[in-house]
Amino acid sequence: MKPCKKKAARELFAGKAINVTIEGHKHLGAVLGSRSHLEEYVSEKVVDWVNEVTRLAEFAVSLPQACYAAFTFGLKHRWTYLLIPSITEPNCFTAQRELLELPVPMGGLGLTNPAQSAGSEFEA
């Protein structure tokens, strides 16, 4: 919302359980609001991700199998949409996606394809 419309919006929604803000707000895992709020949110996420990778790498020294399981069943799903574009550029062709899906011993990265696994993930 533009700052000049904040007062009118507050008057319109007075007495209602609606929070009128111009800064921004997290909604369903995304950010709505100003560019500065978006940048702040993404920066916090990046710090969290770096901390997760660092912690995982520290544990991997003594517990490599446990770390692989933690990555496979937890972190990988959250990172899939970030990893694929950074590896393949913005456009990922079907052949590239299939290579990324291959298990690590076969030369892939074991990145699941959400389009193919959505049904089983939903059931789980």
Q: How far is CA 90 from CA 37, 82, 93, 112, 113, in A?
A: 24, 10, 10, 18, 16
Positions of the chain with pLDDT under 70: 1-2, 25, 27-29, 76-87, 90
What residue has token string 């660092």?
A: 54
Give residue 40's pLDDT.
Answer: 85
